[in-house]
Amino acid sequence: MVGAHGGNFYQDFDISWGDGRAKILDGGQLMTLSLDKTSGSGFQSKNQYLFGKIDMQIKLVPGNSAGTVTAYYLSSQGPNHDEIDFEFLGNLSGDPYILHTNVFTQGKGNREQQFYLWFDPTKDFHTYSVLWNPSNVIFLVDGIPIRVFKNNQAIGVPFPEKQPMKLYSSLWDAEDWATRGGQVKTDWSKAPFSASFRNFQASACIWSSGKSSCGRTTTGSGPTGNGWFDQELDATSQRWLRWVRNNYMIYNYCTDVKRFPQGLPPECLHS
C-alpha cells in the first residue's frame, strides 16, 4: 500500500533542532522556522521513503535575507548517503533568490544546477516538489519541471534507489558562501529571519522495518497504481523544462569544463 498522506505537521514531522525556533501552528497546518544570531532551526519527517512524489508549499524569508539558506531535501543516513536537494540562497532586498539544486549518490555530489525563479518566492507560498521513481528524479516548481536526473546506471552513474530517505528542512546561516560567494554577509539587525511551510503531501512508498509499503513489484504502472511510479517527462513537460533552462538556469555543472579537466561527468554527455 502506498502512503498518500500529508497536511498535518504534528502527524508527519518532528522538530529536530532550534530550541523553540521551529513552531507548528494552526493546529498542525503550518510550520515556521526561524534563524537568529544564536541558532537556526529544522524539522524532519517521521517516515522514511523509498520513491515517491513529495510536495511542500514554502514561503521564503522576505526582505534582506543575504547569508541565509532555506534547505528542503531528501537524505539517507551515513557517509555513502543519497540526497536530493533544494536550497534557497538568500539575497539583498530586490535581488532574486537563487534556487540551488544538487543530487548526491553514494556520498558523492558535485552535481549543482542553479536557477532564478520567475516569481518572488517571499510574497506567497509556492509548491516545490520532488518526483523520485526508479527511472528519474524530477525537481518541480509549481508543477513545472526545472531539472531531471535520469537513472543512468547503464553507463556507470549511481542512482538513488536502494537507500530510504527522510525529508528534512532547515533555515540556517551560511554567510560564508550563500550570497555572492560569501561577499554579502548576514545583516543580523534584520533577525529573526523566518520561512513558512504548509500543505505537505507525500504519495510515496514508506520504508519501515526493512520493507517498502509498495511491495516488490516495479513494473507496469508501479505497485501503487499511482502514475508517479513510472512517470517520465511528456512532450509538454519537456517544453517547460527547456523554457526554464533557457530563461532561468544560471549554473549547470554539466557545462563547467574548468571544473572537470578530466572530462565532464558521464551523465552530462548522455543527456
Residues that are catalytic: 83, 87
Cell of 213: 509499503
Give the per-residue SS3 of 191-258: CCEEEEEEEEEEEEEEEECCEECCCCCCCCCCCCCCHHHHCCCCHHHHHHHHHHHHHHEEEEHHHCCC
**What is the C-alpha separation between 152 and 158, in angstroms, rounded?**
7
**CB–CB of 233/97 below 8 Å?**
no
Say which amino acid occupies 9: F
Give bridge partners of residue 166 from the DSSP assignment: 75
